[in-house]
Amino acid sequence: MEQSKISTRYAKAIYEYASENGGEERLYAEFSTLVAHFVTLPQMKGLLDNPTVEKSKKLSVLIAAAGEDISPVCRRVLELIVNNDRVDYVYSIALMYEKIYKRAKNIVSVKLHSTTTIDDSTRKALEGLIAKEGQSIEFVGRTDESLIGGFVLEIEDQRLDASISSQLNEIRLELLR
């Protein structure tokens, strides 16, 4: 079975389990922390993929990566993943869970990359333009000096690149043709 199918099935079942136990919101936060650790600590994946490392140690690593004081729901889910030999899918399961959670809670992810820090009034105006009735916005603003000017706006899987650096790159490619 391919990885995306396995990850999707596990994530759906985990979301249902967490919902039944009233822990879906906390599990979302714990899985977000886990995903962040996979990104910042690439050696963690190597350790989890190593067949010589015992399951108990893999579980300990995942528990530590999910946060200091994890919920019983998260502990049970991680134990299930480790005991079913699905540790190599844990990152994609966590990402899929985040996606399912956001869809269920009607949350839209918005990322804005700009050369300067965005103020609260601009952020709220942008959220007002993006959000449809009943939706909430998960907004992340980042500064990126390499853009030179302008911005890059990402809404879910759509991307609007209005940065000076990308426009200069397009001009450079046009001149090379």
pLDDT of residue 2: 76
User: 139-159: per-residue pLDDT in tens?
Assistant: 999 999 999 999 999 999 899
Note the helical H segments in the chain: 3-20, 24-40, 43-49, 55-66, 72-83, 90-105, 120-130, 164-176
Shared domain check, 82 and 61 = yes
From 103, 118, 139, give the residue that closes a domain. 103
CA–CA distance, 107 with 148 (Å, rounded to integer): 31
Please indicate, yes or no, whether residues 130 and 74 belong to a single structural domain of this protein. Answer: no
Same domain, yes or no, for 170 and 130? yes
* Boundary residue ending a domain (75, 103, 131): 103
Question: 131 in helix, strand or coil?
Answer: coil
Compute the mean pLDDT over every residue in the chain, rounded to the nearest whole number: 94
Mark whether 20 and 48 lie in a shared domain: yes
How confident is the model at residue 1, as a pLDDT? 54
pTM of the entire predicted model: 0.83
Work out the percent of the chain whose per-residue pLDDT is above 90: 92
Domain of residue 72 covers 3-103
Q: Are residues 34 and 90 in the same domain?
A: yes
Closest among 15, 6, 17 to 88, alpha carbons compared: 6
Question: What residues have CB less than 8 Å from 80, skipping those under 6 apart?
Answer: none
Residue 58 pLDDT exceeds 80 = yes
Calpha distance 99→139 (Å, rounded): 15
Measure Cα distances from 54 to 29, 81, 141, 143, 151 in Å. 27, 14, 40, 41, 46
The residue with tokens 């990126």 is 144
* Alpha-carbon torsion, ordered 18, 154, 130, 162, to 10 deg: 170
Residues 88 and 135 grouped into a single domain: no
Same domain, 110 and 161: yes
**CATH code for position 13:** 1.10.520.20
Give the tens place of pLDDT for each residue, 71-109: 999 999 999 999 999 999 999 999 999 999 999 999 999
Q: Which of 47, 75, 103 lies at the terminal end of a domain, its last residue?
A: 103
Same domain, 142 and 86: no
The distance from CA 126 to its chain's CA centroid, rounded to whole angstroms, is 21
117 in the same domain as 99: no
Domain count, the chain: 2
